Amino acid sequence: MNGNKILTGCLCAFCCEALFGMSYVFTKFATQSASPFALLGWRFAIAAVVMGACVTFGLVKVNLSGKSIRPLLLIMFINPVIYFTAETLGISRITASESGVILATIPVVSLVMSAVILHKKPTRNQVAGILITLAGVLVTVLAAGTSASLSVMGYLWMLAAVMCYALYTVHVEKAHEYTEAEITFFMMMGGGITFVLLAVAEALSAGTLQTLLALPFTNQGFLITVLYQGVCCSVLAFFLSNAAIARIGVNRAASFIGLSTVVSIFAGVLALGEPFSMAQIIGTVIILAGVYLANRK
């Protein structure tokens, strides 16, 4: 039973990162015609509707009878509300290579958070595997070229995003009494309310509210993107992420995060015709070796 639990958790973590990695291709098209907050607003609006429908029609069960919702509200506030806000504001101020480098530290910060908050000491293999994965991600990101924005606020927002994601993983592992569906439900509802309000506020200030409301109906690429991100990257991926953390813990789940970089590279090569350099090949091999080392017995 324990072996099945570990295998299921690893498969959930792998599928979650594969879904996140594929989103790169879709986002590439959508951000050319919409602001980041417009994209987030529609993404989480769809996610909230889909998750609400799943609960309404009994596809997933949410039963909070006798349970405090404070831990769920905390998780919701950390991720997606603060995490995606910080990431969006950070990415808009610094370069893509800088964003990739900073986000690559999430597994390491998660490892530290797990040790400090959960008092779970990582194994030597987990530490070595995550550090190797980090090195591989840095190689693949920097292979695309380096540039510096020197934006202090951009760096601070991105560091806040990293801290929030690490805290999210720790608090999900602490939330033993809640199911993956219950955690995901609160995350999607909180994200839907927050980012719809932010998108509408942004559109009102710019006088583009009508354009925002019509985006999915006038732009097919935007519609496909928000459907993929809302259903696959929000509802399904976070459900898988929560399931993985519950089954294999923060330390092991964090080791899979680098796989999203590998998937995004191959997706870019196959779907967008982007170049695939020798440095990226080396980085991919290093990432896979790190994930294997962190999860082998």
Cα Dmax for the chain: 58
- Dihedral over alpha carbons 257, 262, 263, 266 (to 10 degrees): 170
Token pair for 287 = 């990432």
Residues in the chain: 297
Domain that holds residue 26: 2-295
Read off φ and ψ for residue 33, nearest 5 degrees.
Answer: -125, 0
DSSP letters along 33-78, please? TS-HHHHHHHHHHHHHHHHHHHHHTTSS----TT--SHHHHHHHII
Q: What is the pLDDT of residue 148?
A: 67
| Omega prior to 36 cis, within 30 of 0 | no
pLDDT on residue 29: 66
Q: Which residue from 232, 236, 214 is spatially nearest to 223, judged by alpha carbons? A: 214
pLDDT computed for residue 143 by the predictor: 76
- pLDDT by residue for the chain (297 residues), tens only, comes to 567 889 999 999 999 999 998 887 777 666 667 888 999 999 999 999 999 999 999 999 999 988 999 999 999 999 999 999 999 899 888 877 788 888 889 999 999 999 999 998 899 999 999 999 999 998 888 776 666 667 889 899 999 999 999 999 999 999 989 999 999 999 999 999 999 999 999 999 999 999 999 999 998 888 998 999 999 999 999 999 999 999 999 999 999 999 998 898 888 888 778 777 888 889 999 999 999 999 886
State the Cα–Cα distance between residues 57 and 76, nearest whole angstrom.
23
Distance (Å, rounded) from C-alpha 255 to C-alpha 273?
A: 28
Write the single-letter amino acid at 145. Answer: G
Quote the CA–CA distance of 166 and 214 in Å, as a whole number: 36
* pTM score: 0.91
- Asked if 291 and 259 touch (Cβ cutoff 8 Å), the reply is yes
**Looking at residue 122, what DSSP letter applies?**
P
Contact between residue 13 and residue 169 where contact means Cβ atoms under 8 Å apart: no
- Per the structure, the count of domains in the chain is 1
**Which token pair is 238?**
């976070």
pLDDT confidence of residue 32: 67
- The Cβ of residue 222 has, within 10 Å, a number of other Cβ atoms equal to 22
Place of tokens 């690490």: 166
The amino acid at 62: V
The dihedral of CA 267, 271, 274, 277: what is its sign? positive
In this prediction, residue 270 carries a pLDDT of 82
Written as six digits, the tokens of 63 are 């039963």
Comparing CA positions, the residue from 79, 102, 75 lying closest to residue 90 is 102
Number of other CB atoms surrounding residue 116 within 10 Å: 10
- Both tokens of 163, joined, read 């801290």
Residues 142 and 102: beta-carbon distance below 8 Å: no
DSSP 149: -
Element (H, E) at 26: helix 2-30
Q: Is 282 exposed, middle or buried (0-12, 13-18, 19+ CB in 10 A)?
A: middle
